[in-house]
Amino acid sequence: MKHDSSSAGAPSPRGRRPGHRDTRERIREAARELFLADGYRDVTMRSIAAAAGVDVALVSYYFGSKNGVFSAAMSLPVSPIELLDVALEGDPDTLAERLLRALLAAWDDPTVGVPLQTAASRAIGETALSELVAEMVEREIVAKIAERLPGPEPYERAAIFVTQMSGVIFHRYLLRVEPIASMPVEEIVRRLVPSLRSTLEI
Amino acid sequence: MKHDSSSAGAPSPRGRRPGHRDTRERIREAARELFLADGYRDVTMRSIAAAAGVDVALVSYYFGSKNGVFSAAMSLPVSPIELLDVALEGDPDTLAERLLRALLAAWDDPTVGVPLQTAASRAIGETALSELVAEMVEREIVAKIAERLPGPEPYERAAIFVTQMSGVIFHRYLLRVEPIASMPVEEIVRRLVPSLRSTLEI
């Protein structure tokens, strides 16, 4: 109940007493507006707290990290960046396959995939959101994969790789083009990994 | 001037007497509704003519082919299928490169690319339109590329290939993710063609 008291003076969205849910939601909405206006990099835990009118410790308490607030602000049940971080760990030789499998596992899972599809569909039509998603892809996905690649021009190779992965998202989850939309995971892996591996190496 | 006389009884495009433009537009709108309701395959020149209340010869006169009506109905200044047909012709060894170059040339050209981007963006959000686009991709793009591929399972290989090409559309033209969005054509070709070629062969 201590957070009830910390937000005591604030008006409740539902007209009852202020509480956890109201505060959390207020932070989430303030973060969403900030991210859409300023992009990912320029938003801080502190600027989110200020916009929501709460202490920065409360933002940490509810969401852990900036990436956690971002996922909540985008209505994503898990952080795509954390899924990526897990898939990045391991043998460099199977990096392409691990990343493809992680993508398919997340987007094929209805509890994760449906919110991701909603976010991606909206991003195509809304300029502020598409700029934010593009920035996330550039800074958080491409950049992190590039760090794992030996050799010259890792960023460009990672960008082409992510472009090809996005083709899978586009055809399997957004447009639902057959046979990709209902192709078994093992078949996608078998057909796509050799080409994804060559992309990482060129 | 001979076209003036050949269309003597028809309404004027500029909105004075009824004429070309009105009839053409009526056919276009009827076709759009039909395609969205019934998909690409089940719509015929005859069913379009019937829906627009005109003779089928008039549909041919204005649009040439079903694919021509389709492009007009989707507000595309050129038919992507015709561009594909041109790129398909030639040495099988450079098929991947020709298709990638054709895609980049069309989407990089503002007069063609902007309407394509609009159509693709809308398709993601509208179910009837996304089903229609998916059907076009399956039947008109994947199937035609598959016809050119020797060896087993050409359709699956073509589908993976087109998925990778769509990743380029998604990142370069819809989300505008850097460095893909402003990468020179020659660099995209150099970085992507080896992987696209391997996809066609797996």
What pLDDT, on the 0 to 100 scale, is given for residue B13?
Answer: 45
Identify the CA nearest to B160 among candidates A173, A43, A165. A165
Distance from CA of A126 to the nearest CA of B (A): 10
Distance from CA of A156 to the nearest CA of B (A): 7
Yes or no, beta carbons of B195 and A191 under 8 Å apart: no
Yes or no, beta carbons of A195 and B192 under 8 Å apart: no
Yes or no, beta carbons of B171 and A156 under 8 Å apart: no
What pLDDT, on the 0 to 100 scale, is given for residue A18?
Answer: 53
What pLDDT, on the 0 to 100 scale, is given for residue A124?
Answer: 82
- Asked whether the beta carbons of B31 and B72 are under 8 A apart, the reply is yes
Residue A54 CB partners (closer than 8 Å, separation 6+): A6, A7, A23, A26, A27
What pLDDT, on the 0 to 100 scale, is given for residue A78?
Answer: 86
What pLDDT, on the 0 to 100 scale, is given for residue B80?
Answer: 85
What number is the ipTM of this complex?
0.79
Could you tell me which CATH number the domain at B9-73 has? 1.10.10.60
Dihedral class, residue B10 (left if φ above 0, else alpha if ψ from -120 to 50, else beta): beta
In chain B, which segments carry CATH 1.10.357.10?
80-201
Q: Which of A163, A188, A190, A198 to mutate to test the interface with B (most CBs of B within 10 A)?
A: A163
What pLDDT, on the 0 to 100 scale, is given for residue A49?
Answer: 96
What pLDDT, on the 0 to 100 scale, is given for residue B78?
Answer: 86
| CATH H superfamily, domain A2-73 | Homeodomain-like (1.10.10.60)
DSSP tag of B13: T
- The architecture that CATH gives domain A80-201 is Orthogonal Bundle (1.10)
Identify the CA nearest to A84 among candidates A154, A150, A162. A162
Distance from CA of B114 to the nearest CA of A (A): 14
> How many helices and strands (H and E) does chain B possess?
12, 0
Give CA separation, A136 vs A36, B177, B178, in Å.
12, 9, 11
Q: How many residues does chain B have?
A: 202
| Rounded distance between C-alpha atoms, residue B49 and residue B59, angstroms | 6
Yes or no, beta carbons of A134 and B166 under 8 Å apart: no
Distance from CA of A105 to the nearest CA of B (A): 18
Residue B202 with chain A: CB contacts under 8 Å: 190-191, 194-195
Element (H, E) at B128: helix B127-136
| Class of residue A14 by CB neighbours under 10 A (exposed 0-12, middle 13-18, buried 19+) | exposed
Q: What is the pLDDT along chain A (202 residues), one digit of tens a residue?
A: 344 444 444 444 444 455 677 999 999 999 999 999 998 889 999 999 999 999 999 999 999 999 899 999 988 888 888 899 999 999 988 999 999 999 999 999 988 898 988 888 888 878 888 888 899 899 889 999 999 999 999 999 999 999 999 999 999 999 899 999 999 999 999 999 999 998 888 6
Residue of B nearest to A122 (CA): B125
Token pair for A175: 């447009």
- Asked whether the beta carbons of B177 and A159 are under 8 A apart, the reply is yes
What pLDDT, on the 0 to 100 scale, is given for residue A61?
Answer: 95
In chain A, which segments carry CATH 1.10.10.60?
2-73
In chain B, which segments carry CATH 1.10.10.60?
9-73
Amino acid identity, residue A21? R
Chains A, B: CB pairs < 8 Å? 147
In the block, residue with structure tokens 């760090």: A147
A178 closest CB neighbour out of B138, B160, B180: B138
How far does Cα B162 stand from its chain's mean position?
14
For chain B (length 202 residues), average pLDDT per consecutive 10? Answer: 41 50 91 92 94 95 92 88 91 91 92 88 84 89 91 93 93 92 94 90 72
Distance from CA of B167 to the nearest CA of A (A): 3
Q: What sign does the CA torsion over A173, A179, A184, A186 have? A: negative
Yes or no, beta carbons of A179 and B159 under 8 Å apart: yes
